[in-house]
Amino acid sequence: MSSNKNLLINRDISWLLFNDRVLQEAEDPRVPLLERLRFLGIFSNNRDEFYRVRVATIRRMEKFGKKGKEIIGANPTKLLEEIQEIVVNQQKKFDSLYAKISREMKKENIFIVDENNLDAIQQKFVQEYFNRHVSTFLIPIMIETAPQFPYLKDRMIYLAVKITRTGLENKTKYSLIEVPTDFLPRFLVLPSANEKKCIILLEDIIRFCLKDVYSIFKYDSIDAYAIKITRDAELDIDTDVSKSLMEKISKSVKQRKKGLPVRLVYDEKIPMDLLDFITRKIKFKVNEYLIPGGRYHNFKDFIQFPRVGRKEVWYRPIRPVEHPLLKGEKSLLSIIRKKDVLLSFPYHSFNHIIDLLREAAIDPKVTSIKITMYRAAKNSSIVNALVNAVRNGKQVTAVVELQARFDEETNIFYAGKLQEEGVNVIFGVPGLKVHSKLFLITRKEEGKSVNYAFIGTGNFNENTAKIYTDHALITGKKNITSEVDKLFGFYQNNYQTGSYHHLIVSPFNSRKHFLDLINHEIKRAKDGKEAWIVLKMNSVSDVEMINKLYEASQSGVKIKLIIRGICSLIQGLTNKSENIEVISIVDKFLEHSRIFVFCNSGKNKYFISSGDWLQRNLDYRSEVTVPILDPEIQNELKRYLIMQLQDNLKARFLNQPGKANAYVVKRNLPQISAQNEIYRLISLNQLGVNKPRESFFDK
């Protein structure tokens, strides 16, 4: 385990430990069978992104010598070696789990079949499907005679084909086929008898029909092995001042697709002569960047595995609950005018947000809508509501972040669409990513302009809102809405930074404000008074913030952290972090919300935030943390966190010396899944019910 003087875990190693928790879900027999298969897909997708971003960055740092080591806080070469070792071991575990899940699927009469075990009816079906749908998309390239080796696209599956015939010169031929997953589904459900469900993958359909693809050759054997290349996904932004930001990002996204390779994954059964030929042609050094794997790559597609089998092999889908204050109301603004509302996704319906924007779009008293957009859904209802608002004569401003990684093309598309409709589109802030989750509705009431603000922890994306846990405050309180308005003024005129007394805004005052809050707890603890902190985030790796938490622990402040992903802090270190407990929850929903609670001399302070405690979020992004002032909503957040801290099914202790991702065990207590319990309480409208003397620190 990489560490900095044994006090900090390297962020990249910590991320790999997070992905290992995802593998634990695939291993957990309590998880429905086909959901375990989906977790293998999630693990694979996560690892792809890790290589495209983090490993690519570390490889870049190798070229900078000592400077590179300073930037990432570790020796790049040694770190890459450690990453390689962990990834190879995880891949072995992955392959073993896939084999085990496949065996259990057979007991459920669900079979992933390949080209070698099709019955006569299935063979005919596959052949006809290939002829009708697949063959026209295939472009086989004979790579040993091609003028140049074909360019391998990032994250596409290729079949490396070896054709042999004995007794002839040039008896071996090599070929390459791109598997057309951009155009065709990865899975095909086959006709089968006796209630069996048989599924074949697209590459196995191609394998079955290789004789048709290479019919002009005489051969004794023809075999195909999957390979996949991963490329550097970092954008190199053009510095040409004559080009617009949209032009620069568009050009960079195209260049990303031709980024330098950082990994080649291959079927470990591939013949060495074929693998050597390919690696020489793409100029990979021996064993460098090479990851042996199983028969199938791009396992991320298994996230969309066909929904077959008994209902017990899947999680029971939840039906989002309507918020009791908003349920059945004709005007949502009239409710928010009276009382703050906290929405908790995916437990609450995301439709409330869409309905609120639709109401604002047609309300004759609404004059303007301002919104930040980081990641939007395809066919976004949010975008449609904004377009509708413009058509109804409202002034609409959208701050569109073009540098939202992997969503650049989507955001460029929506920016163009919004501009065409007359929306005032602002392309972020030079030098900052706008990661805040805000919108502001301005309405004329009794001759005055009145603002209503939305401040959230997650994106305006109705798709991810079904699987990400997030919170959103909707408020009409002037002290909050006026500062949201001020922040939009900064987005429009970057020199107008303003000052903020209620909102905590990166990069202006977040670091100082959080340090001040921790220092207050330190002082209280030193005075022998009650002092504690509870923090829920995706990631924490900022060295200054971690050192301050260590100082707080040494001073006697009790600290509980709920961290889903990266955590560089180590709990339980003697004379350092004995008062810190860190857990991570990985379950059916992705924990994404950020909640901060400070004892504050008994007058507890509650916040929700768009940003984690990473240096980028504190210093190089526009993030917003909002105080929760309503006592009832504070109770909701308190109960929410207590449920998470009581989880003894899906919670793991993080970074305990000598233990990696050990499950939280609480003997003689009923088993609790926080996500299930939170949904139950929200469904019964009991999340905010305050239990007497209930504490974050109850055992």
Number of CB atoms found within 10 A of residue 562's CB: 24
Helix (H) or strand (E) holding 416: helix 408-420
Measured distance CA(618)–CA(507) in Å, rounded? 6
Q: Tell me, yes or no, if 323 is annotated catalytic.
A: no
Helix (H) or strand (E) holding 227: strand 221-231
Within 434-536, residue ranges assigned H as helices are: 478-492, 510-526
* C-alpha to C-alpha distances, 569 to 366, 535, 667, nearest whole angstrom: 47, 13, 26
State the catalytic residue, choosing from 435, 471, 520, 592: 435
Place of tokens 């030929």: 277
613 — phi, psi (to 5°)? -95, 65
Give the closest residue to 213 by CA, choosing from 142, 144, 114, 278: 142
Number of CB atoms found within 10 A of residue 197's CB: 16
> Which pair of tokens denotes residue 387?
């377009």
159 — phi, psi (to 5°)? -100, 115
> Which pair of tokens denotes residue 384?
């449609």
Q: CB neighbours of 492 closer than 8 A, spacing ≥ 6?
A: 397, 426
Q: What count of residues does the chain have? A: 699
Question: Rounded to 10 degrees, what is the CA torsion of 536, 537, 540, 545?
Answer: -50
Measured distance CA(230)–CA(235) in Å, rounded? 15
> Which pair of tokens denotes residue 512?
């100082």
Helix (H) or strand (E) holding 630: none
Measured distance CA(519)–CA(513) in Å, rounded? 10
Residue 364's SS3 state is: coil
DSSP per residue, 399-415: EE-TTSTT-HHHHHHHH
Cβ 307 vs Cβ 314: under 8 Å: yes
First to last CA, the chain: 30
CA atoms within 13 A on the CB side of 436: 34
Residue 182's SS3 state is: coil
Measured distance CA(61)–CA(378) in Å, rounded? 35
Question: Rounded to 10 degrees, what is the CA torsion of 534, 537, 541, 545?
Answer: -40
Measured distance CA(295)–CA(227) in Å, rounded? 9
DSSP per residue, 519-555: HHHHHHHHTTS--EEEEEES-B--HHHHHHHHHHHHT
Measured distance CA(157)–CA(171) in Å, rounded? 26
Cβ 691 vs Cβ 697: under 8 Å: no
Cβ 195 vs Cβ 179: under 8 Å: no
Catalytic residue annotation: 435
